């Protein structure tokens, strides 16, 4: 079981929603509920070191901000960390922090590598990896599901996409976890900054090697193509590789580890999955809603405007909270219940609109492979120690999950 302190809505005035510890160590569901009901567009005040920002909590308002990249740009950063620090070095060059025509052109290019058809061989390899990792865990009888199973899946798939050599993969994995989420409450922004720079340097080297290499991976695709008539430079290639690895590794790991924890904590749902009463495709969507690995996304208002009737000034930071929208009772019946057969399921776990997650098909395939693997290979799961949260105001979930597994 995870033990988290429940925060009461009365404490709202003392909370800083940018504080990673708050998200890691507490249960904010009562606060989100209160905000959706009474202050759906809330102002999180400035601190000594960071500016204030808007907190948008209702599903309808969240999707309206996501939809409108002209009024709410990602070019000032798309997560609190960069927005509060005053900008993103990838602005106008990296897919997630670029808008307008450049974004559309870059996205069209990358989409060709992320279509279900193009991903078929990678999805096949994901299924084989999941089966191998689950069999290893079953043989040992116990595992840390987050480290031994979930962590072994997404980075391998992204590295396959990017053509990262096997020998470098463990190094890249340790850098990504320091750069974004942290499994350590004492990790500092400087540690994250150093890790991020190391990843960028690593990809710069790979991009140089691949420019005229004739390889068929995403790095070679970026290096050999034009966006709106212009070739991408080394910086743009490196930033977009970085964005794939940071966007697609830890998020997917957290959803897979969160899936195992959800099944352990909801034995009735585990039985319904085992009996085939809940199909894999619908169960994947509910796991995505339930785990919501990306807590928020951020934007900057480009003009004086409003959200949910609240005036927003040009230049202000607007954050939309998937964690709250995915529990909005206006959209979901009994949002606090895990229902693996839930349909429809209009979660915003992958965002919405022009920046909708590029890796959604891959992430769904990864979670689906884990659910199918657990259903088919595992008879019983039992938690044998505490699950440990990641410390981040952007990523949510567990980085450690000790389990005992019995084979089917």
Q: Is 349 in the site for ligand HEM (CB under 6 A)?
A: yes
Residue ranges in 249-388 assigned as alpha helix (H): 250-265, 267-274, 280-291, 322-325, 360-377
Q: Is 362 in the site for ligand HEM (CB under 6 A)?
A: yes
Segment lying near ligand HEM (by CB under 6 A), choices 22-30, 85-93, 346-354, 381-389: 346-354
By CB under 6 A, what part of segment 13-52 binds ligand HEM?
none
- Phi/psi class of residue 276: alpha, beta or left (left: φ > 0; alpha: ψ in -120 to 50)? left
Whole-angstrom distance, CA of residue 403 vs CA of residue 251: 21
Cα torsion for 343, 344, 348, 353, to the nearest 10°? 140
Q: Is 247 in the site for ligand HEM (CB under 6 A)?
A: yes
Cβ-based nearer residue to ligand HEM, 182 or 319:
319
Q: How many CA atoms lie within 13 A of 81 on its CB side?
A: 17
Q: Is 355 in the site for ligand HEM (CB under 6 A)?
A: yes
Segment lying near ligand HEM (by CB under 6 A), choices 28-36, 219-227, 240-248, 271-279: 240-248
Q: Exactly one of 146, 222, 307, 351 binds ligand HEM (CB under 6 A); which one?
A: 351
Q: Is 156 in the site for ligand HEM (CB under 6 A)?
A: no
Nearest distance in Å: CB 179, ligand HEM: 15
Which residues are CB-neighbours of 38 under 8 A, at least 6 positions away?
none
Q: Is 244 in the site for ligand HEM (CB under 6 A)?
A: yes
Q: Exactly one of 158, 318, 340, 371 binds ligand HEM (CB under 6 A); which one?
A: 158
**Residue 116 burial (CB < 10 Å; 0-12/13-18/19+)?**
exposed
Q: Exactly one of 80, 119, 257, 363 binds ligand HEM (CB under 6 A); which one?
A: 363
Whole-angstrom distance, CA of residue 340 vs CA of residue 105: 37
32: Cα separation from own chain's centroid? 19
3-state secondary structure 296-326: EEEEEECCCEEECCEEECCCCEEEEEHHHHC
Cβ-based nearer residue to ligand HEM, 163 or 359:
359
Q: Exactly one of 129, 251, 319, 393 binds ligand HEM (CB under 6 A); which one?
A: 251
User: Nearest 5°: phi and psi at 101?
Assistant: -65, -40
Q: Is 297 in the site for ligand HEM (CB under 6 A)?
A: yes
Distances, alpha carbon 181 to alpha carbons 215, 300, 330, 367, in Å: 31, 23, 31, 19
Nearest distance in Å: CB 358, ligand HEM: 4
Whole-angstrom distance, CA of residue 182 vs CA of residue 395: 9
Give the binding-site size for ligand HEM (rule: CB under 6 A).
Answer: 26
Nearest distance in Å: CB 301, ligand HEM: 15
Residue numbers at the binding site for ligand HEM (CB under 6 A):
74, 78, 95-96, 107, 154, 158, 243-244, 247-248, 251-252, 255, 293-294, 297, 349-351, 355, 357-359, 362-363
């Amino acid at each position: 079981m995870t033990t988290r302190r429940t925060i009461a809505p009365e404490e709202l005035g003392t909370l800083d929603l940018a504080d990673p510890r708050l998200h890691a160590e507490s249960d904010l569901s009562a606060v989100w509920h209160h905000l959706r009901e009474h202050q759906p567009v809330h102002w999180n005040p400035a601190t000594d070191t960071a500016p204030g920002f808007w907190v948008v909590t209702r599903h309808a308002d969240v999707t309206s901000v996501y939809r409108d990249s002209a009024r709410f740009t990602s070019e000032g950063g798309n997560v609190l960390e960069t927005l509060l620090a005053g900008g993103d070095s990838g602005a106008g060059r990296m897919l997630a922090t670029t808008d307008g025509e450049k974004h559309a052109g870059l996205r069209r290019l990358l989409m060709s590598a992320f279509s279900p058809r193009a991903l078929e061989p990678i999805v096949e390899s994901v299924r084989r990896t999941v089966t191998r990792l689950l069999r290893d865990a079953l043989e040992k009888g116990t595992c840390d599901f987050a480290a031994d199973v979930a962590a072994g899946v997404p980075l391998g798939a992204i590295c396959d996409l990017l053509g990262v050599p096997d020998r470098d993969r463990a190094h890249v994995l340790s850098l990504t976890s320091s750069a974004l989420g942290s499994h350590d409450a004492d990790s500092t922004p400087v540690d994250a900054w150093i890790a991020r720079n190391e990843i960028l340097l690593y990809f710069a080297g790979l991009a140089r090697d691949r420019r005229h290499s004739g390889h068929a991976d995403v790095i070679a695709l970026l290096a050999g193509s034009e966006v709106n008539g212009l070739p991408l430079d080394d910086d743009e290639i490196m930033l977009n590789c970085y964005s794939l690895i940071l966007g697609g590794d830890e998020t997917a790991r957290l959803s897979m580890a969160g899936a195992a924890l959800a099944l352990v904590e909801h034995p009735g749902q585990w039985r319904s999955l085992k009996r085939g009463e809940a199909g894999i495709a619908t169960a994947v969507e509910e796991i995505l809603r339930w785990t919501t690995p990306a807590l928020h996304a951020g934007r900057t208002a480009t003009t004086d405007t409003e959200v949910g009737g609240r005036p927003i000034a040009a230049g202000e930071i607007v954050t939309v909270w998937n964690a709250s929208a995915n529990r909005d009772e206006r959209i979901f019946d009994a949002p606090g219940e895990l229902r693996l057969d839930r349909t429809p399921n209009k979660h915003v776990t992958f965002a919405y609109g022009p920046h909708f997650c590029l890796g959604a098909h891959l992430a769904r395939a990864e979670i689906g492979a884990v659910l199918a693997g657990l259903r088919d290979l595992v008879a019983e799961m039992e938690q044998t120690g505490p699950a440990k949260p990641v410390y981040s105001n952007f990523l949510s979930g567990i980085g450690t999950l000790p389990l005992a597994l019995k084979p089917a």
